[in-house]
Amino acid sequence: MKPAKEDMIASLTEELEPVRAFNTRDGMALLAVAAALTFAGVLVFEGFWHGILTGEASAFFWITNGLLALLGLASAGAVIAMASPRVGNRFDAPVWLSAMMAVLPVSAMLSVMPQQHGLDAIVNDMYGMHCLTYSLLSTVLIGAALTAWLRRGATVSLNAAGWFTGIAAGSLGTLAYGMSCSIVSITHLGIWHIAPVVISAVLGRLIVPQLVRW
């Protein structure tokens, strides 16, 4: 039996302690630390591809990683804001950026489809699975940091929070890993550097809501 409302209010008032009010800068700082550690981990274990500095990186490299950065930041921004709920919150940017991102795998497929054995170039990409695996590993820290942030907050849009956490971790993790990858063709980048984002998004949707429900 719950106490009467007045008793409850008196009791909650009595136990009141000062709290640090929600601030998006705290969330951004947490994200920055997680992303920096992820980039550092990639540099230590996979190394830095110096072709980025010597002009060997193709336009596809810059487009893919630029879009990953934008999608990752937009999604992470949405996740950080979601910790403080509000009727009227809208998070359209990650949705539209995800749609833009889909152009890359479609372009990769369209570029090889007319060729005989064209799909083989994608399926038999000898570095594909390596990039997929290490990109996924690179998502873990960022995903964990964003989930911890959501757990501290009062997330009310659980499924959306799950999607955006997965997309943010997938995009930024793959971006970090991408600094070590020297394969710059659209068929490689458009498939093997986008697949981790999709897988991470699905994992985020499946796992995160269970962890942030309150």
Partner 1 sequence: MIADEATLARLMVAGQKGDKSAYNVLLSEAGLWLERYFRRRVPPHQLDDLVQDVLLALHNKRATYDPERPFLPWLAAIARYRWVDHLRKVYKHESDLLGDNDAVEDSHEDAIAARVSLERLFVQLPKKQAEVIELVKISGHSVREAARRTGQSESLVKVNIHRGLKKLSALVEKAE
Binding site for partner 1 (CB under 8 A): 2, 5, 8-10, 12-14, 16-24, 83-90, 152-154, 156-160, 214
- Rounded to a whole number of angstroms, the minimum distance from the CB of residue 30 to partner 1 is 15
Q: Which of 190, 200, 189, 118 is nearest to 165 (CA)?
A: 200
CB of residue 203 to partner 1, shortest distance in Å: 20
Nearer to partner 1, 24 or 115 (CB): 24
CB environment 171-204: b (16+ within 10 A), e (fewer): bbbbbbbbebbebbbbbbbbbbbbbbbbbbbebb
Minimal distance in Å, beta carbon 58 to partner 1? 40
Distance CA 99, CA 78 (A): 16
CA dihedral sign of residues 16, 20, 24, 27: negative
Closer residue to partner 1 in complex, CB, 10/103? 10
Cβ proximity to partner 1: between 66 and 85 the closer is: 85
Nearer CB in complex with partner 1: 146/158: 158
